[in-house]
């Protein structure tokens, strides 16, 4: 594929997780600075279910917000959290002039069974609207290949539509490698009269083992041929990265041609693979 093709006017955003150590936090600032040069619409920062990363998420959001004039969107999950704790977070974010949130249910650590006062993301969206009105642009999660715990594809679609009806403005998908799954999901939404932007979540491929483990746990399908080829490369990290880059750049190309409105990159707090993909596909 040719490098540095014509720039395209498609917004991009980058996701981080809150670092666990001071060294990780310093490294993230460097990654953030590098990714700022790609002119993103915003950065987002994940939030551990049940409030497990509350302080780290807040600290990371504030640091990024103070470092560059690019908006930051905190993720917020409701499972295992109380309405009072979530209200306090919402008020704090509003005071910091944060205008965008990613609202999720979250996944409780195994063994922890307290769902809390808001068991589903739809309930959280409703709560944010009741508490903060229209202050926040709310993103929710979408699953073109179906959420792994959903009773059926249809039930999951109904749940997604319920989140939109509760007040979500747009959505970011779980990562996927099959563009047709995204196009089918979009067709089903259009038929149901739902037309909010649904932004493909893009996972750069840099490490086969991690990708396979992560995909198995979140229900994202790795096509058989790709899984086999990644596994066959074993420890050959250069070949894994080269194959991953080609596959994901082609996926982005197809999604742009099919009308994807923007792209959200799961950076895993690294800049290199994401930067290469953005430049290769002309998204910078
Ligand atoms: P929901 O939309 O509530 O759906 C969860 C499941 O419940 C689905 O199977 C749905 O079909 C079903 N369901 C919904 N409503 C009902 C109902 N009334 N009755 C029965 N079933 C119902 N996790 C984190 O912990 N922190 C993060 O920061 C984070 N960021 C993410 C960002 C993105 C873009 C994505 C795609 C995922 C993220 N996740 C995060 C993971 C997410 O929390 C999990 O996938 C979680 O299992 C579902 O969250 P949700 O918001 O999609 O839940």
Per-residue pLDDT tens over the stretch 119-158? 999 999 999 999 999 999 999 999 999 999 999 999 999 9
The predicted-structure confidence for 37-69, as pLDDT tens digits, reads as follows 999 999 999 999 888 899 999 999 999 999 999
Ligand 1 binding pocket includes 49 (Cβ within 6 Å): yes
Smallest CA-to-CA distance from 145 within 108, 110, 178 is with: 178
Per the structure block, which two tokens stand in for 105? Answer: 């249910």
Per-residue pLDDT at 113: 66
Distant-in-sequence, close-in-space partners of 70: CB < 8 Å, separation ≥ 6: 36, 40, 41, 42, 43, 64
CA distances from 197 to 30, 51, 101, 135 (A): 30, 28, 15, 19
Quickly name the fold that domain 12-280 has. Answer: TIM Barrel (3.20.20)
Arithmetic mean of pLDDT, 83-110: 94
Arithmetic mean of pLDDT, 87-112: 92
Arithmetic mean of pLDDT, 203-225: 95
Atom number in ligand 1 closest to CA 149: 9
pLDDT band, residue 111 (cuts 50/70/90): low
Distant-in-sequence, close-in-space partners of 49: CB < 8 Å, separation ≥ 6: 77, 79, 80, 81, 105, 106, 107, 108, 109
Atom number in ligand 1 closest to CA 148: 9
Give me ligand 1 centre to Cα 265, in Å: 18
Per-residue pLDDT at 1: 52
Smallest CA-to-CA distance from 284 within 1, 64, 11, 15 is with: 11
% of the chain with per-residue pLDDT over 70: 96
Structural domain boundaries in the chain? 12-280
Per-residue pLDDT at 4: 47
Per-residue pLDDT at 121: 98
* Helix extents (H) in 177-218: 179-191, 208-218
Arithmetic mean of pLDDT, 221-227: 96
Give me ligand 1 centre to Cα 169, in Å: 16
Query: Does 73 score more than 50 pLDDT?
Result: yes
Per the structure block, which two tokens stand in for 2? Answer: 């040719």
Catalytic annotation present for 15: yes
CA distances from 60 to 29, 32, 68, 141, 269 (A): 9, 11, 13, 21, 12
Average per-residue pLDDT for the chain: 95
Atom number in ligand 1 closest to CA 147: 9
Ligand 1 binding pocket includes 21 (Cβ within 6 Å): no
Would you say the pTM of this structure is higher than 0.75? Answer: yes
CA distances from 244 to 138, 162, 169, 239, 273 (A): 31, 35, 31, 8, 9
């Amino acid at each position: 594929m040719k490098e540095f093709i014509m720039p395209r006017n498609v917004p991009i955003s980058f996701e981080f997780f809150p670092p666990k150590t001071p060294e990780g936090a310093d490294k993230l600032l460097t990654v953030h600075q590098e990714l700022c040069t790609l002119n993103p619409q915003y950065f987002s920062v994940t939030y551990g279910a049940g409030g497990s990363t509350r302080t780290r998420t807040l600290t990371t959001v504030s640091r990024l917000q103070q470092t560059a004039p690019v908006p930051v969107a905190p993720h917020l999950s409701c499972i295992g959290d109380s309405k009072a704790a979530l209200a306090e977070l919402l008020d704090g974010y509003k005071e910091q002039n944060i205008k965008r949130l990613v609202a999720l249910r979250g996944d409780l650590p195994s063994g922890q069974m307290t769902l809390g006062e808001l068991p589903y993301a739809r309930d959280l969206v409703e709560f944010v609207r009741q508490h903060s009105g229209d202050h926040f642009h709310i993103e929710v999660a979408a699953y073109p290949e179906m959420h792994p715990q959903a009773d059926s594809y249809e039930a999951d679609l109904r749940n997604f539509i319920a989140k939109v009806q509760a007040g979500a403005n747009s959505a970011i998908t779980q990562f996927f490698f099959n563009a047709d799954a995204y196009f089918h999901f979009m067709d089903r939404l259009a038929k149901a009269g739902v037309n909010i932007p649904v932004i493909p979540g893009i996972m750069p491929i840099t490490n086969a083992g991690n990708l396979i483990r992560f995909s198995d746990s979140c229900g994202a399908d790795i096509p058989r041929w790709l899984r086999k080829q990644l596994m066959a490369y074993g420890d050959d990290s250069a070949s894994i990265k080269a194959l991953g880059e080609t596959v994901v750049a082609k996926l982005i190309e197809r999604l742009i041609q099919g009308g994807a409105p923007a792209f959200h990159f799961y950076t895993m707090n690294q800049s290199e693979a994401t930067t290469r993909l953005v430049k290769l596909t002309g998204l910078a």
